[in-house]
């Protein structure tokens, strides 16, 4: 009798940060990355090995917009379980509101981002990354959990 081994299930964790100033949300316009270029998204990134989700948020905030934050100033507000297609890994995205930060955010990755702007939460751009839009709306409605990509054919 032969035993067929399947590839081990993989789940990719990521962190997304919501920076608010008054009633405006900070968004980055993606460029030259090969992933969602031409769309706006949040400060975000994958969690590295041997790194907590909060620690990844601190690192991404510094790498992408040059601000220093404390892990304790990240308030968890949402988690999304999503998938892109049958061949892509499933994702679990953790969303945090950044309660406070040091210095004004700036574009520290101009090779990956060609605009960094504050948008009124009621008037977000139409070219927002689709799953980010769903997560923001879920957060605004007070939902701690959402799913994306499961009801569509991969």
| Domains of the chain, earliest start first | 11-148 (3.90.79.10)
- Cα separation of 110 and 127, whole Å? 19
Whole-structure pTM value: 0.91
Predicted confidence band of residue 8 (pLDDT cuts 50, 70, 90): confident
Q: For residue 123, which of 42, 18, 24 has the smallest C-alpha distance?
A: 24
* pLDDT higher than threshold 70 for residue 154: no
Neighbours of 20 (CB within 10 A): 13
Phi-psi map region of 88: left, alpha, beta (phi>0 left; psi -120 to 50 alpha): beta
Residues 6+ apart with CB under 8 A from 132: 16, 40, 41, 42
- Cα separation of 71 and 147, whole Å? 26
pLDDT for 153? 40
* HSE-up (13 A, CA, CB side) for residue 49: 0
* pLDDT higher than threshold 80 for residue 67: yes
Do residues 5 and 94 make contact, with C-beta atoms less than 8 angstroms apart?
Answer: no
pLDDT digits (tens, 9 = 90+) for 81-135: 998 766 667 899 999 999 999 999 999 999 999 999 999 999 999 999 999 999 9
Do residues 68 and 102 make contact, with C-beta atoms less than 8 angstroms apart?
Answer: yes
Instruction: Return the ∠ at Cα 63 (arms to 18 and 16), rounded to 5°.
Output: 25
Question: 73 or 153: whose pLDDT is higher?
Answer: 73
């Amino acid at each position: 009798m032969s035993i067929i081994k399947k590839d081990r299930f993989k789940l990719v964790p990521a962190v997304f940060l919501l920076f608010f100033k008054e009633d405006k949300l900070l968004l980055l316009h993606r460029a030259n990355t090969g992933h969602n270029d031409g769309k706006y998204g949040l400060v975000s990134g994958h969690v590295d090995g041997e790194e907590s989700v909060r620690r990844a948020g601190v690192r991404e905030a510094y790498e992408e917009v040059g601000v220093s934050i404390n892990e304790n100033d990240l308030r968890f507000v949402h988690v999304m379980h999503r998938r892109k297609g049958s061949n892509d890994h499933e994702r679990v995205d953790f969303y945090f509101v950044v309660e406070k930060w040091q210095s004004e955010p700036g574009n520290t990755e101009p090779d990956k981002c060609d605009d960094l702007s504050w948008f009124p939460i009621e008037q977000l751009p139409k070219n927002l990354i689709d799953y980010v839009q769903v997560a923001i709306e879920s957060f605004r409605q007070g939902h701690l959990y959402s799913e994306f990509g499961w009801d569509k054919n991969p």
